[in-house]
Amino acid sequence: MLLKRTHTCGELTKEHVGQTVALNGWVDAWRDFGGLVFIDLRDRYGVTQVVFEPEAGADLQSQARELRNEYVVGIRGTVAARLPGKENPKLKTGAVEVRAVELSVYNASPTPPFEINGPEPNEELRLKYRFLDLRRPELQRVFILRHEIGQLMRRVMTEMNFLEVETPVLGRSTPEGARDFLVPSRVHPSHYYALPQSPQLYKQLLMVSGFDRYFQIARCFRDEDLRATRQPEFSQLDVEMSFVEDEDVMTMMETLVAAMAKQFGGEELKLPLYRIEYHDAMERYGNDRPDLRYGLELKDVADVAEETEFRVFQQAKEAGYRIRGICAPGGAEKYSRKDLDGLTEFAGSFGAKGLVWLKVEAETFAGPTAKFFTKPEVQAKLRERFDAKAGDLILIVADTQAVTSQALSNLRARLAAELEMYDPRSFHYSWVIRFPLLAWDADENRYVAEHHPFTMPMAEDLPLLDTDPAKVRAQAYDLVVNGEEAGGGTIRCHDPVIQSKIFALLGLTPEEADEKFGFLLSALRNGAPPHGGIALGYDRLVMLYAGLTNIRDCIAFPKTAKGTDLMTGAPGTVAARQLRELHIRPNLD
């Protein structure tokens, strides 16, 4: 029988003393004292202690004695103040307990595969029994936070006059970008829908339709290999607006970012947020999404290297390599020779063929290559370049632009963490702007879009489209939080002539462009307003504000690194009949 609840397990206080209440929930713990039985009852609001006393009758007590962890029950009883000195300050409801007069067991439960309030089980088990895993208060807290972040997004966007519109999940495959998830059409043999990588084109079309300010918390799909912060399906706050340039989109988005920072980061943000151009970010941090909670900037030391007798540097110069480094304050004391070998190996994992390290001492440098850096002017220049003091550690990589950037930016992040150069609970928000429009793809022997193919070049760079496309900067902006890309967007190309020119640079013939994007070009020709937008990674923001390092814990039913669902068994096989209907013959080679 259902004992319909009058309160949740998180709300009873001294004010309720004397009331008759009913609670529903799961048995979180039981303590049997023979004459007295305690049950901790849990729901998503909290835990309340229920006591079964002898006065309630032997039958009820013996029923209570049968209860085990994770049984789902309803109880009716009277709220009583706890005996003086017996309050539990760890519980919101710890000042009271419910003296049970009635118990209804809705469902028994076997001994669970792991303890809901015990140590965190391994992830395989958690994912297999996700419905139990999600009972754990740590995870419940994440999903409550996720809901609150979503609500804040909807409220702030609505206040700024944005309209929520849904776009299709079944769309058509686009040739650029990530691999698509495909859905075969039953009605049209050999034709396939694609799940959206983002609602990009639809939201642009909504601008052409005059919807002016659109948003959506949209599910996106990408069939690429997964990582700690990457799932095949994820959600983003997708935004598009008309009659704007890049500053307008950033300013608008800062309103939301400030609201989130205030509510979830406990911080009053100073606006506008710091902006850094892509080129400067790459130069100073070797990364287009630098973590700016700490300095540790990259410095070019090619000119100093030239003055040394170090062969590695001379060969680097001949190869046209860059010679760059960072200086870790206090690093010489922190890192042993063995640690430094570890750092060298770490740099090697990003392609660096070596890592020059110099321990800065009062008068000299120490280290296996220090003998190449003994000239007074070399010493002085390096100290000045890195603002190096005794006890610091200078790390130098000589390699291509890409390798020095990758190796040093990763070293930078690692050193800052290990040397505790920032508060890991703090947040730093910034914009990286003016990305290159195009990147040269040597494998495909053509340009590919750095962001996506619908991006507007910066007006002053438009002439370069014809002369030096690689130099064209885009009206693009990424929101970076703590070294993670929290979102990104662009001003779109609303001019069909420029759009066609970009398609051509991407290696699309006019016919191909028309075949793939004819509807977009048509829309652009039919009164497309200047427009642009942005998308914020919803799951990533939840992860950030929840203090997590893994996106799976921000998604109720996530996939493993190989894209499987350990609970449902997806992806699974299907009946031959289903395949026949879809005109698919499996290739079992």
Partner RNA sequence: GGGGAUGUAGCUCAAUUGGUUAGAGCACCGGCCUGUCACGCCGGAGGUUGUGGGUUCGAGCCCCAUCAUCCUCGCCA
**Would you tell me which residues interact with RNA (CB under 7 A)?**
29, 31-36, 38, 40, 49, 51, 53-54, 68-69, 82-83, 86-88, 90-91, 94, 97, 111, 113-115, 118-125, 127, 174, 176-179, 197-198, 200, 222, 224-230, 349-350, 406, 448-453, 550, 552, 560-562, 564, 566
Rg (CA), the chain: 30
Q: How far is the CB of 450 from RNA (least distance, A)?
A: 6
HSE at residue 67, side-chain half, CA atoms within 13 A, is 33
* Residue 473 vs 552, nearer CB to RNA: 552
Q: Do 219 and 541 touch, CB atoms closer than 8 A? A: no
Least CB distance from residue 118 to RNA, whole Å? 5
CA distance 231 to 202: 22
Q: Supply the minimum distance, in Å, between the C-beta of residue 265 and RNA.
A: 23
Task: Tell me: cis bond preceding 272? Omega within 30 of 0 counts.
Answer: yes
Separation CA 75–CA 23 (nearest Å): 5
DSSP string, 49-117: EEEE-GGG-HHHHHHHHT--TT-EEEEEEEEEEPPTT---TTSTTTTEEEEEEEEEEEE--PPPSS-TT
Beta bridge partners of 163: 214
Closer residue to RNA (CB): 196 or 329: 196
Closest CB 27 distance from RNA, rounded Å: 9
Question: Where is 303: in which H helix or E strand?
Answer: helix 302-305
Q: Report the residue number, 53 or 267, with the smaller CB distance to RNA.
A: 53
The distance of closest approach from Cβ of residue 266 to RNA in the complex, given in angstroms and rounded to an integer, is: 27
- Give min distance, CB of 503 to RNA, in A: 13
Report which DSSP code applies to 204: H
- Min separation Cβ 433 and RNA, Å: 16
CB of 429 to RNA, least distance (A): 21
A 10 A CB-CB count for 100 gives 24
Contact 517, 503 (CB under 8 A): yes
Least distance CB 413 / RNA (angstroms): 11
Compute how many other C-beta atoms are within 10 angstroms of the C-beta atom of residue 335: 21
CA 153 to chain centre: 16
Sequence-distant (≥ 6) Cβ neighbours of residue 383 within 8 angstroms: 360
194 vs 256 by CB, closer to RNA: 194
Nearer CB in complex with RNA: 367/488: 488
Q: What are phi and psi of 220, to 5 degrees?
A: -125, 155
Minimum distance between the CB of residue 88 and RNA, rounded to whole angstroms?
A: 4
Taking the C-alpha atoms of residue 404 and residue 410, their distance in angstroms, rounded to an integer, is 10
Both structure tokens of 510:
């006019």
Exposure of 344 in the CB half-sphere (CA atoms within 13 A): 14
Task: Kindly state the smallest distance separating residue 340's Cβ from RNA, in Å.
Answer: 19
Q: Which lies closer to RNA via its Cβ, residue 91 or residue 408?
A: 91
Nearer to RNA, 434 or 552 (CB): 552
Instruction: Please enumerate in sequence order all residues whose Cβ is within 8 A of that of 519, keeping only pairs 6 or more positions apart, or say none.
Output: 201, 205
CB nearer to RNA: pick between 125 and 458: 125
Closer to RNA by CB, 249 or 378: give it. Answer: 249
In this complex, which beta carbon is closest to RNA, that of residue 24 or of residue 204? 204
The helix-helix angle for 538-546 and 137-159 (nearest 10°) equals: 130
Query: In terms of CB distance, is 122 or 573 closer to RNA?
Result: 122
Pairing assessment for the beta strands 163-164 and 213-221 based on DSSP bridges? parallel
Shorter beta-carbon distance to RNA: residue 220 or 304? 220
* Cα–Cα distance for residue pair 75/100, rounded to 1 Å: 6
Task: Tell me whether residue 114 or residue 143 sits nearer to RNA (CB atom).
Answer: 114
Q: Work out how close the CB of 127 gets to RNA at its nearest, in angstroms, rounded to a whole number.
A: 7
Of 502, 526, 515, the residue nearest 454 (C-alpha):
502
Least Å distance between CB 359 and RNA? 28
The helix (H) or strand (E) run that includes residue 441 is strand 438-441
What CA–CA distance (Å, rounded) separates 310 from 321?
A: 14
Residue 107 or residue 161: which is nearer to RNA going by CB? 107
Question: By C-beta, is 201 or 258 nearer to RNA?
Answer: 201
Provide, rounded to whole angstroms, the least separation between the CB of residue 178 and RNA. Answer: 3
Number of separate helices (H) and strands (E) present in the chain: 18, 22
Q: How many CB atoms lie within 10 A of CB 140?
A: 15
Asked if 218 and 172 count as a contact pair (C-beta separation under 8 A), the reply is no
> How far is Cα 497 from Cα 42, in angstroms, rounded to an integer?
63
**Measured from the CB of residue 351, what is the shortest distance to RNA in angstroms?**
8
Find the length of the chain: 589
What separation in angstroms does the CA of 522 have from each of 168, 505, 510, 516, 518? 20, 19, 13, 12, 6
